[in-house]
Amino acid sequence: MARILKYPLTVLLVTAALPALSAILTGTGEQDFARLRSAMVRDQIVARGVTHRATLQAMRTVERHLFVDASLSSRAYEDNPLPIGYGQTISQPFIVAYMTSLLDLKPEDRVLEIGTGSGYQAAILARMADSVYTIEIVKELAASAKKRLQDLGYHNVEVVPGDGYYGLPGNAPFQAIVVTAAAEHIPPPLIEQLGEGGKMVIPVGSQFMVQNLILVEKKKGRITTTNLMPVRFVPFTREETR
Amino acid sequence: MKRRLAISIGLLSCSMVAFQVALMQILSISQWNHFAYMVISVAMLGFGASGTALAFLRNHLVPKIGSNLAFLMIFTSLSIMGILFFSRTVFGGFDSYLVFYEKRHYLNLICSYLMLFVPFFLGASALGLAYSHYASDIGRLYFADLAGSGMGGLLMLILLWHVSPSVVPFVIACLPLVAGLLIFRHNGKTVAEKTGLLTLALLALVLLVAGFLNPPILPSSQYKSLSRALLLPDARVVETINSPYGQLKRVSAPALRYAPGLSLGYTGQVPVTEVLFHNGDWLGPLVPMALPEREETVVLSALPGTPDAEGAQESLDGKETGHYLDYSTQALPYVIGTPGKVFVADAATGLQAGYALSRGAKEIVAVEPNSTVVGMVTRNIAVPGEQISFIAGHSRYHVQQDDRYDLILLPETGSFGGSSGILALEEQYLFTLDAFSLLWDRLSPGGMIAATLWVDYPPRSTFKLLATMAVTAESKGVEDPADHIVAVRSWSTITCVLVKNKVSANNIDKIRTFCQSRQFDPLLYPGIHPEEREVYNMLQDKSFFRTTDLLLTREREKLFREYDFQIRPATDSRPYFSQFLKLGRLSKMREVFGSASMPFLEVGYLIVLLTMAQIFLASFLFIVLPLIFKKVPGKGKTSLLVFFSFIGIGYMFAEMVFIQQFTLFFGSPLYAASAVLSAMLFFSGTGSACSQKMVTGSPRLRLVAGVIAVLLALLALFLPSLMKATIGNPLPVKVLLCALVIGPPAFLMGMMFPSAILAIRHVGDGSLIPWAWAVNGSFSVISTALAAVISVEAGYQTVMWVAVAAYLMAGISTRFRLFSIFVK
């Protein structure tokens, strides 16, 4: 009897000890994550010129490490995008912050996101806006993001599995639209569903390097775009520009 | 025995070359194709490493050489098949796209190297062992080696048409198996040897049957365009074609749409289309080609001298054809005029040809180099044969076959969001100054050359294209290129048009109206005002406009030097339009973009540099280090190193230049490579067979090296002109010319290796031969990466001059004592 009891007890003890051991080894307990998050905002985002207070607050709050695979959680606050499977990545923290700051969201805003991915961008938006609708075409990603966002208490986010091309006409107009799923054209229905004075932001680049951002604005029915550069690059050597 | 040995060596060499080609194909389909290049280069170092291994083990292997050769060959067969069965680990274990992000992928990459290294190492060990033991018969054996290699290339040309890439290695594995069984003789063999061989042969047979009946599924990187498209709901592969051009797949999915840089003012539907993928990468959509409905399509204007000139209408109203490309910058040339005769270069799925048809073009010649694409397009969408000639071939060749064109459309280059420099090492012969000069000459009096590019940041491709247009115009006597170039910009694309006549005020008005109606911004036309350039699409970086204007002036030379990216126009000698990296600015790039992101800015060239570094490191580990630790018998091993490394470099450099030159000549990279390799191997093999009788001493070897250098120097000077003068000849004449050009140097180059082996066969009882084999093998591999770097930095002509210098150095090195022991 003692032997029978001894075995599960050992398993239980080992199981309980493992997370602690892992945390010791990787140095990433909850407090550490909070510290990493704070450092991320300071060193990667503020240092690059993002000053939008609500965005910075959201970036400090949302637990990015819970939006990546457990094996990558210790790297969640690095200055890189990370793979999330299905040929997709969770964007570099700075890009998420920069895109969000460009939208200049207000608490009463309704936001549409095309390309949910892990749900991280939606969580950031949900901290700043009234409601977030996010469409993901890969049904496995949509299901996991939906569960994750629900578990984390983001009740103002609705994850919609499907083709983002048509947007969500039933919930339009949107004050802001984020198209994180790179597209070589902007679907006309999305332009239509952008409200007056609304802003749309589109990152352009590969999965691993966003080269520029397109900010689309609708003012008095007129559409304009601005090509913004997340990384300022002066394409001449210093001495030669003198 | 000797005849069977020669046949076995031929079969083994055939399998080595065929397996190399098969691996390139498999890795291109499953991964980033640059990694294919990198992995293969390292795997090929198996040749170098085999020589080093033989230097240590030769004395143990020689006593039972018959059995050992057979075992090595059968192990080669087993390892070729083994790789396929472990393909999940080899090709799926690492993802080339993640190598820069996750350190564990480095380990997977090294594992892949090691696994791919094994068959080359085993096969090359068998070859090296045979050469070192049967050195007196080297001429014949080397001939069999070269002939077998040539057959390997031809075998793949046939196999890749008929067999899936996952089955091809199993066909190839039959060759070393047969070679091993052929060479094994029962006489004098122990029971253990016979049992061992039988067991291995049976195992090989079991794997062969398993492979043919149940071929392994090749995993593909999740970041390939095809993998991502197949994740879309209801996506499916409708059709697959395998060919030497690669794997072509037709994919259908309700969410697949393509409208590059579509105007934000477009309110219609973007049609769902099937899409073609080439080696897992996006090729283009299958958009139906329909004739314009004449009553609705109103001609905007016409080029002077074209049939529609008189009926041209000025109004923009009603000119829409219903094609969604009306709302893209690609409509720009049709705003300037209505071309009657259009040439679509590298037409891919024919989207541009279909659009030209809808814009009223009377005659369209669309040329696509991949014949399987032409077949798949014409089978699946109706191509109106009276108006459109959809031809498989080389665009630069075909554009010269007809009279003048009103519009020549160049293919889209790069991709949405930047191509990450993936095309950096792709020879783009349509985007060189030589090509633009030729295209200009094929234009009708009011003709145009148009190209559309994706907006990239930092800007580089647009600048290089505009510089190419400006320099071309100037070279054709145009005083101010700004009078002949127009460009329009959307939020994501830029279309540039080079017009043979001066752009008229009337056309400028039309461009303005077009831009306003589509929410585009004009970038260039004569007399443009700065404020006109940013009405709808603002740029944070205003230096873009200043740099654009500077490119059209004579001050561009200074800009080429000072700009951080390579924006000097490409030439036929340096045909790398998409290569923008300047080596001197690497540290600045890393500083600005970060180490992890930087590779995705300019990965193509970086991979070649990385490959070269890897090969040098591996060569040091496999060859130099063992040379230091193991005392090589005989004096003058430095001259041995010099001679065999230089003939390795010289041969490969000359071969690469020949392939480059004949690609333009034959109009097909595939046929050029086949013709050049076949000619090189045939003539070199013949030279090798004759070497024993003709090269009887070091003075003659020196003379041969000198003559090769002179012949290559003559080709470096006159080959490009000869190609240009004779390009119009029929194919049989061209093949004859190819043989006449390549034959003499290749014949002599084939003598160098076996002659030198003969010279050193008695030094240290033949123990120098494995070293020679190792050095020659390693430098042949190093040469491929080195030639790519030299051609990018200095051009192909320089590569040929380096080959000349290499043979001169090889000739000089024969003066050393080592080569004085020639056996007559």
Inform me whether the C-beta atom of residue A142 falls under 8 Å from chain B C-beta atoms.
Answer: no
> Given an 8 Å threshold on Cβ–Cβ distance, is B223 in contact with A207?
yes
Class of domain B317-584 (CATH, top level): alpha beta
Q: Is-contact B178 B40, C-beta < 8 A? A: no
- For B201-206, the CB contacts below 8 A with 24+ separation are B201/B74, B201/B177, B203/B78, B204/B74, B204/B77, B204/B78, B204/B81, B204/B173, B204/B177, B205/B177
> Given an 8 Å threshold on Cβ–Cβ distance, is A185 in contact with B259?
yes
CB-count burial class (<10 Å; 0-12, 13-18, 19+) for B64? middle
Nearest to A205 among B102, B418, B459 (CB): B418
Mean pLDDT of B760-766: 71
**Fold (CATH) for B1-221:** Growth Hormone; Chain: A; (1.20.1250)
Span A75-88, pLDDT tens digits: 999 988 888 988 88
Distance from CA of A210 to the nearest CA of B (A): 8
Mean pLDDT of A206-220: 81
Helix/strand/coil for B386: coil
Inform me whether the C-beta atom of residue B284 falls under 8 Å from chain A C-beta atoms.
Answer: no
Residue B313 pLDDT grade (very low, low, confident, very high; cuts 50, 70, 90): very low
pLDDT at residue B35 in the model: 67
Query: In B257-362, at which residue ranges do the beta strands (DSSP E only) sit?
Result: 274-278, 281-286, 341-344
Distance CA B367, CA B374 (A): 9
Q: Is residue A42 part of a domain?
A: no
- Mean pLDDT taken over chain B: 85
User: Is A206 designated active site?
Assistant: no
Count how many pairs of residues, chain A against chain B, have C-beta atoms within 8 Å: 153
> Given an 8 Å threshold on Cβ–Cβ distance, is B592 in contact with A233?
yes
> Given an 8 Å threshold on Cβ–Cβ distance, is A163 in contact with B233?
yes
Mean pLDDT of B267-275: 86
Angle at B610 between CA B607 and CA B611, to 5 degrees: 85
Inform me whether the pLDDT recorded for B165 exceeds 50.
yes
Residues whose CB is less than 8 angstroms from the CB of residue A98 and which lie 6 or more positions away in sequence, other chains included: A45, A48, A50, A213, A230
Please give the residue of chain B at the shortest CA–CA distance from A191: B264
Residue B476 pLDDT grade (very low, low, confident, very high; cuts 50, 70, 90): very high
Query: Is 1.10.3470 the CATH classification of the domain at B632-824?
Result: no
Nearest to B564 among A228, A229, A237 (CB): A237
Distance from CA of B375 to the nearest CA of A (A): 27
Residue with tokens 């993002």: A50
The more confident residue out of B256 and A67 is: A67
Mean pLDDT of B168-183: 94
Residues whose CB is less than 8 angstroms from the CB of residue A131 and which lie 6 or more positions away in sequence, other chains included: A110, A111, A156, A157, A158
pLDDT at residue B87 in the model: 64
Residue B552: closest CA among B637, B462, B627: B462
pLDDT at residue B317 in the model: 38
Span B608-650, pLDDT tens digits: 787 788 788 877 877 777 767 766 665 666 777 788 889 999 9
pLDDT at residue B5 in the model: 93
**What number of CA atoms fall less than 13 Å from residue B5's CA on the CB side?**
22
Considering chain B, what percentage of its residues have pLDDT values greater than 70? 87
**Rg for chain B (alpha carbons), in Å?**
29
Inform me whether the pLDDT recorded for B321 exceeds 70.
no
Inform me whether the pLDDT recorded for B32 exceeds 80.
no
Residue with tokens 């006593």: B63
Q: Is residue A118 part of a domain?
A: yes
What distances in angstroms separate CA A232 from CA A106, A229, B277, B800, one per listed residue? 28, 6, 35, 41
Helix/strand/coil for B247: strand
Residue A240 pLDDT grade (very low, low, confident, very high; cuts 50, 70, 90): very low
Residue B60 pLDDT grade (very low, low, confident, very high; cuts 50, 70, 90): confident
Q: Distance of alpha carbon B494 from its chain centroid, rounded? A: 27
Mean pLDDT of B82-108: 69
Residue with tokens 């123990």: B767
Which tokens go with A169? 């006409």
Which tokens go with A209? 């390097």
Residues in A touching B261 (Cβ below 8 Å): 184-185
- Count of Cβ atoms closer than 10 Å to residue B713 Cβ: 17
Nearest to A79 among B222, B492, B594 (CB): B594
Which amino acid is it at A186? Answer: I
Which amino acid is it at B310? Answer: E
Nearest to B267 among A138, A188, A224 (CB): A188
Q: Is-contact A39 A77, C-beta < 8 A? A: yes
Inform me whether the pLDDT recorded for B813 exceeds 70.
yes
Task: Report phi then psi at B392, rounded to 5.
Answer: -90, 125
pLDDT at residue B336 in the model: 93
pLDDT at residue B705 in the model: 93
Query: In B358-491, at which residue ranges do the beta strands (DSSP E only) sit?
Result: 363-368, 388-392, 405-409, 443-454, 485-489
Residues in A touching B543 (Cβ below 8 Å): 234-235
Does the N-terminal peptide bond of residue B633 adopt cis geometry, omega within 30 degrees of 0?
no
Nearest to B540 among A188, A227, A240 (CB): A227
Q: Is residue A201 part of a domain?
A: yes
pLDDT at residue B365 in the model: 96
> Given an 8 Å threshold on Cβ–Cβ distance, is B564 in contact with A231?
no
**Rg for chain A (alpha carbons), in Å?**
21
In chain B, where the domains are located: 1-221, 317-584, 632-824
Inform me whether the pLDDT recorded for B306 exceeds 60.
no
Distance CA B442, CA B449 (A): 10
Inform me whether the pLDDT recorded for B824 exceeds 50.
no
Span B220-247, pLDDT tens digits: 888 888 988 999 999 999 999 998 888 9
Mean pLDDT of B408-415: 83
Considering chain A, what percentage of its residues have pLDDT values greater than 90? 60
Which tokens go with B478? 């145009």
Q: Are strands B246-252 and B274-278 parallel, antiparallel or unpaired?
A: antiparallel
Q: How many domains does chain A have?
A: 1
A residues 44..83 contacting B (CB < 8 A): 79-83
pLDDT at residue B788 in the model: 84
Nearest to A185 among B232, B262, B420 (CB): B262
Q: Is residue A239 part of a domain?
A: no
Residue A160 pLDDT grade (very low, low, confident, very high; cuts 50, 70, 90): very high
Distance CA B429, CA A100 (A): 43
DSSP assignment string, B127-151: HHHHHHHSGGGHHHHHHHHHHHHHH
Q: Is residue A48 part of a domain?
A: no
Please give the residue of chain A at the shortest CA–CA distance from B585: A237
> Given an 8 Å threshold on Cβ–Cβ distance, is A209 in contact with B597?
yes
CATH number of the domain enclosing A97: 3.40.50.150
Residue with tokens 């094996």: A71
Residues whose CB is less than 8 angstroms from the CB of residue B485 and which lie 6 or more positions away in sequence, other chains included: B466, B469, B470, B473, B496, B497, B498, B499, B503, B524, B525, B552
Task: Report phi then psi at B212, rounded to 5.
Answer: -70, -40
Inform me whether the C-beta atom of residue B560 falls under 8 Å from chain A C-beta atoms.
Answer: no
Inform me whether the C-beta atom of residue B267 falls under 8 Å from chain A C-beta atoms.
Answer: yes
H helix runs in B46-137, sequence order:
46-61, 65-85, 87-90, 104-133
- Count of Cβ atoms closer than 10 Å to residue B711 Cβ: 20
Span A102-150, pLDDT tens digits: 999 999 999 999 999 999 999 999 999 999 999 999 999 999 999 999 9
The more confident residue out of B392 and B93 is: B392
Structural domain harbouring A94: 79-228
Inform me whether the C-beta atom of residue B280 falls under 8 Å from chain A C-beta atoms.
Answer: no
Considering chain B, what percentage of its residues have pLDDT values greater than 90? 42
Mean pLDDT of B387-406: 88
Which amino acid is it at B73? Answer: M
Residue A222 pLDDT grade (very low, low, confident, very high; cuts 50, 70, 90): confident
| Same fold across B1-221 and B632-824 | yes
Entry pTM = 0.86
> Given an 8 Å threshold on Cβ–Cβ distance, is B492 in contact with A224?
no
Mean pLDDT of B686-698: 82
Q: Is residue A29 part of a domain?
A: no
- Count of Cβ atoms closer than 10 Å to residue B201 Cβ: 18
> Given an 8 Å threshold on Cβ–Cβ distance, is A86 in contact with B261?
no
Residues in B touching A87 (Cβ below 8 Å): 222-224, 227-228, 231
Distance from CA of A44 to the nearest CA of B (A): 12
> Given an 8 Å threshold on Cβ–Cβ distance, is B264 in contact with A80?
no
> Given an 8 Å threshold on Cβ–Cβ distance, is B597 in contact with A225?
no
Residues in A touching B585 (Cβ below 8 Å): 237
Most B-contacting residue of A215, A227, A242 (CB-CB within 10 A), to test interface: A227
Please give the residue of chain B at the shortest CA–CA distance from A88: B223
Q: A22, A38, A73, A91: which one is catalytic?
A: A91
